[in-house]
């Protein structure tokens, strides 16, 4: 139930528009339990397996559709952001009209915030992909375990090829975004100041930032250790600056309409 | 799921090459297709697939003249899709074999276009159990649905009715691996396919299975009308070009853009929805924070970060960036790990079955139940190769990989039947801890943890 709880948490804390796009882990688990406990020969393995597959396929369709839709959006917004930055720089630069410095700074600040949020949203999509994949892998493992089936291996191979799992393009956009931000907003003395500030920071609201922190913490929790550790399990997550992440205290989720 | 899988067989079973052929073949000449191949190949970041398609393309161009105009197009879909789907099969996934598989279909295509999908799908079958494609990359574009199947209503209907049987066969196939499904499936396959030639006695194609998962559109009703397109930056560039030529996002019409873009496989629906998104993005830049949330003023958004007073906005953003970068990094690592795990699992499965078949042979001659030396030698190179290829830190892995394969092989006689999970738990745990991205101090045998 550990993963189920984590997933639920993530769903609660994610962007509202995304909430119903995640894996229906609980329902699938219930089905698996139902299948394994069914003893009547009429409700045989074949039917149950078929039903299970049908649901899984629906889930995968859901992921694919949502993922590709978001991806398309990201492609458009990415380009727009690049153009917007260029415009702002040009306007203030040598060739363009020169508005006041305050305006420039204001514009740049807005652009920067938008870019950072955009970056975060893309990363959240990659996270979405990942957590759904993890859920699928887990549910398949449960299914095989309970029913003695051999569904997991071939099915997961197919999942690996699905659009929602192939996150290469989004990752590429993420990196491009990072590069742009690094170029346009170069890191100066700020870095040291930030590193020194290790005090607790309250992250409130439903910002993208909050979501990414939540996602990261969740990921760490999920991978902390498994009671059914097998060769298909991932090793525990360990990354530097984990204390930084932990220093973020998340408020209780504020659900929005 | 009823209507969709049927069309998805064709849609997604056919490679993007055949998609282009369908859309373009009717009106344009075949040589034109090869020029579009480049552009559309860019839709998908797979040079491997592009090569496969060029192969298919050149072959089909040669055969195209044999077929009548319309049938030629349809024949292209199916013959190329048969080539493609046979391409994805595990046991015979060599480019050379595509050639041999394609020719029978090409010669059949004039016979009955309606029968083709089922015959080709059944012919490109695996006689054995469902170990699906190891050509992961090539399939990434396979779900790309294609264009206007509105032009082929008759056989589409037949496909729709035919597919339920196939899908259920496939489900059974996957669930009951040991059962002999042939009599059942032969019956069920024969039912809807009245005009199909006699070759369809085999089990339903894994191309069905791999593609029914990839059903493009989530709506069951308008399946032919709204296949989903996966956009790429290059495609978007072309789109923006076209829009600008037409005078901007407000003045451009989907039809005009579609015509200007000249991209095979692109439908007006795709362009329409994309244009809508484009317009929204331009005139409400960066709504951010999810689409359904209330739009806050920028000051409110910034203060929603609610950081300590000491931190300026800039630092806040920097911090946010750091966290996001970190998350992304971890996600990538996790994804790679997951890929490798499955790769390994697949490899083990293969070795396991190889081992099993080897043992069955041995059992006949009352020799000891140990491995003959040959297979274990064969495994020495491959696990090492896999470990080295996929591991970013191949230091300890090659050794462990060899050890793992060997120990697995030694244990497999005890586990011949069925439990495919147990041999894999062998020493892969050690491999797991080796491949973890940072040195983990915990031992490989993990105690049960309660959360």
| pLDDT tens-digit readout, B52-86 | 444 444 444 444 444 444 444 443 434 443 433 34
Whether the pLDDT of residue A165 is over 60: the answer is: yes
Q: Which of helix, strand or coil describes residue B91? A: coil
Mean pLDDT value of segment B392-410: 42
The answer to whether the CB atoms of B218 and A18 lie below 8 A apart is no
Mean pLDDT value of segment A59-85: 94
Mean pLDDT value of segment B437-441: 39
- Residue-averaged pLDDT of chain A: 78
Q: What is the pLDDT of residues B92-135, one digit of tens each?
A: 434 444 444 444 444 444 444 444 343 444 444 334 444 434 44
**CA pair distance A10, A132, nearest whole angstrom:** 11
Q: Which of A67 and B289 is assigned the larger pLDDT?
A: A67
pLDDT of res. B231:
93
Helix axes A168-184, A45-92, angle to 10 degrees: 20
SS3 content of chain A, % helix, strand, coil (to 5): 70, 0, 30
Q: What percent of chain A has pLDDT over 90?
A: 33
The answer to whether the CB atoms of A57 and B285 lie below 8 A apart is no
Whether the pLDDT of residue B177 is over 60: the answer is: no
Q: Which of helix, strand or coil describes residue B420? A: coil
Beta bridge partners of A248: A201
Task: Search chain B and give the residue with CA nearest A238.
Answer: B438
Whether the pLDDT of residue A188 is over 80: the answer is: no
Mean pLDDT value of segment B274-303: 61
Whether the pLDDT of residue A170 is over 60: the answer is: yes
pLDDT of res. B175:
44
- Residue-averaged pLDDT of chain B: 54
* Nearest Cα to Cα of residue B159 among B198, B120, B127: B120
Whether the pLDDT of residue A201 is over 60: the answer is: no
Best mutation target, A44, A136, A160, to test chain B (most B CBs within 10 A): A160
| Farthest CA pair distance, chain A | 80
- The closest CB to that of A117, out of B177, B288, B330, belongs to B288
Q: Which of A49 and A233 is assigned the larger pLDDT?
A: A49
pLDDT of res. A237:
62
Least confidently predicted of B248-262, B275-289, B303-317:
B303-317
Confidence category of residue A36, pLDDT binned at 50, 70, 90: confident
Structure tokens at A161: 């090829």
Whether the pLDDT of residue A100 is over 50: the answer is: yes
Q: Which of helix, strand or coil describes residue B285? A: coil
Q: Which of A37 and B158 is assigned the larger pLDDT?
A: A37
Q: What percent of chain B has pLDDT over 70?
A: 25
pLDDT of res. B39:
45
Mean pLDDT value of segment B415-434: 42
The answer to whether the CB atoms of B342 and A169 lie below 8 A apart is no
Mean pLDDT value of segment A8-20: 88
pLDDT of res. A244:
58
Highest mean pLDDT among B194-203, B209-218, B243-252, B402-411 belongs to B243-252
Whether the pLDDT of residue A198 is over 80: the answer is: no
Mean pLDDT value of segment B5-20: 41
pLDDT of res. A16:
87
**Burial class of A93 by CB neighbour count within 10 A (0 to 12, 13 to 18, 19+):** exposed
Best mutation target, A80, A192, A232, to test chain B (most B CBs within 10 A): A232
Q: What is the pLDDT of residues A51-63, one digit of tens each?
A: 888 999 999 999 9
Least confidently predicted of A43-47, A162-166, A179-183, A215-219:
A43-47
| CB distance B426 to B412 below 8 Å | no
Please give the ipTM for the structure prediction: 0.81
Confidence category of residue B194, pLDDT binned at 50, 70, 90: very low
The predicted model scores a pTM of: 0.54
**Nearest CA distance, B428 vs chain A (angstrom):** 5
Residues of B in contact with A127 (CB under 8 A): 327, 331
Residue A24 to residues A8, A131, A136, B10, B195: CA-CA distances in angstroms?
A: 10, 12, 10, 29, 41
pLDDT of res. A56:
92
Whether the pLDDT of residue A208 is over 70: the answer is: no
The answer to whether the CB atoms of B451 and A159 lie below 8 A apart is no
Q: Tally C-beta pairs within 8 A across A and B.
A: 320
Which helix H or strand E contains B430, and what residues bound it?
A: helix B428-435
How many residues comprise chain A?
A: 257
Q: What is the number of other CB atoms lying within 10 angstroms of the CB of residue B413?
A: 16
Whether the pLDDT of residue B201 is over 50: the answer is: no
Confidence category of residue B380, pLDDT binned at 50, 70, 90: very low
Exposed e or buried b for every residue in B117-153, given b needs 16+ CB within 10 A? bbbbbbbbbbeeebbbbbbbbbbbbbbbbbbbbeebe
| CB distance B79 to B120 below 8 Å | yes
Confidence category of residue B378, pLDDT binned at 50, 70, 90: very low
pLDDT of res. A43:
57
On whether any CB of chain A is under 8 Å from the CB of B337, the answer is yes
- The closest CB to that of A116, out of B317, B424, B450, belongs to B317
The answer to whether the CB atoms of A76 and B278 lie below 8 A apart is yes
């Amino acid at each position: 139930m550990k993963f189920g709880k984590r997933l639920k948490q993530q769903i609660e804390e994610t962007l509202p528009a995304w909430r119903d796009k995640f894996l229906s882990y609980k329902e699938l688990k219930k089905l698996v339990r139902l299948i394994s406990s069914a003893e009547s020969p009429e409700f045989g393995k074949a039917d149950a397996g078929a039903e299970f597959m049908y649901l899984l396929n629906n889930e995968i369709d859901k992921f694919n559709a949502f993922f590709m839709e978001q991806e398309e959006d990201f492609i458009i917004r990415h380009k727009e952001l690049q153009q917007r930055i260029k415009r702002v720089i040009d306007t203030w630069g040598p060739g363009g009209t020169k508005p006041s410095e305050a305006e420039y700074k204001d514009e740049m600040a807005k652009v920067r915030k938008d870019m950072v949020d955009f970056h975060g949203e893309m990363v959240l999509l990659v996270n979405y992909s990942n957590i759904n994949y993890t859920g699928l892998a887990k549910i398949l493992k449960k299914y095989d375990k309970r029913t003695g089936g051999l569904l997991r291996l071939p099915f997961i191979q197919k999942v690996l090829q699905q659009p929602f799992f192939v996150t290469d393009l989004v990752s590429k956009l993420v990196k491009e975004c990072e590069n742009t931000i690094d170029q346009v907003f170069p890191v100066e003395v700020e870095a040291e100041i930030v590193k020194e500030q290790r005090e607790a920071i309250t992250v409130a609201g439903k910002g993208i930032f909050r979501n990414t922190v939540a996602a990261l913490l969740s990921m760490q929790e999920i991978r902390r250790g498994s009671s059914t550790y097998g060769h298909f399990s991932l090793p525990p997550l360990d990354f530097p600056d984990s204390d930084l992440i932990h220093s973020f205290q998340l408020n209780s989720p504020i659900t929005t309409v | 799921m009823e209507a969709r899988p049927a069309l998805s067989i064709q849609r997604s079973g056919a490679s993007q090459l055949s998609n282009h052929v369908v859309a373009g073949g009717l009106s344009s000449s075949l040589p034109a297709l090869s020029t579009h191949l480049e552009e559309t190949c860019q839709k998908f970041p797979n040079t491997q697939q592009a090569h496969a398609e060029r192969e298919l393309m050149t072959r089909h161009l040669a055969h195209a003249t044999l077929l009548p105009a319309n049938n030629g197009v349809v024949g292209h879909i199916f013959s190329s899709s048969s080539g493609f789907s046979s391409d994805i099969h595990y046991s015979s996934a060599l480019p050379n074999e595509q050639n041999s598989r394609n020719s029978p279909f090409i010669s059949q295509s004039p016979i009955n276009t309606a029968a083709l999908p089922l015959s080709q799908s059944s012919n490109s079958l695996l006689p054995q159990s469902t170990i699906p494609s190891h050509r992961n990359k090539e399939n990434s574009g396979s779900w790309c649905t294609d264009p206007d199947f509105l032009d082929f209503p008759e056989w589409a209907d037949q496909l729709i009715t035919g597919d339920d049987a196939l899908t259920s066969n496939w489900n059974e196939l996957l669930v009951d691996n040991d059962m002999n499904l042939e009599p059942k499936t032969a019956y069920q396959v024969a039912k809807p396919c009245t005009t199909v030639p006699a070759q369809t006695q085999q089990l339903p194609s894994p191309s069905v299975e791999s593609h029914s998962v990839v059903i493009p559109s989530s709506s069951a009703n308008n399946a032919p009308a709204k296949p989903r397109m996966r956009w790429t930056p290059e495609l978007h560039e072309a789109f923006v070009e076209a829009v600008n030529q037409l005078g901007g996002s407000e003045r451009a019409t989907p039809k005009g853009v579609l015509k200007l873009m000249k991209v095979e496989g692109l439908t007006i629906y795709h362009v329409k929805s994309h244009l809508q998104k484009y317009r929204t993005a331009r005139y409400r830049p960066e709504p951010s924070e999810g689409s359904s949330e209330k739009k806050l003023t920028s000051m409110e958004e910034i203060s929603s970060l609610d950081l300590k007073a000491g931190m300026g906005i800039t630092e806040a953003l920097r911090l946010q960036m750091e966290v996001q970068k970190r998350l992304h990094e971890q996600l990538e690592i996790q994804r790679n790990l997951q890929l490798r795990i499955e790769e390994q699992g697949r490899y083990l499965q293969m070795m396991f079955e190889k081992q099993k078949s080897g043992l069955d042979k041995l059992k006949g001659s009352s020799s000891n139940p140990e491995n003959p030396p040959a297979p274990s030698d064969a495994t020495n190179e491959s696990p090492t190769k896999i470990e080295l290829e996929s591991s970013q830190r191949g230091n300890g892995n090659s050794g462990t990989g060899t050890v793992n394969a060997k120990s697995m092989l030694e244990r497999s006689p005890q586990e011949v039947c069925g439990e495919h999970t147990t041999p894999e738990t062998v020493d892969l745990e050690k491999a797991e801890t080796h491949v973890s991205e940072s040195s983990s101090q915990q031992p490989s045998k993990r105690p049960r943890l309660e959360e």
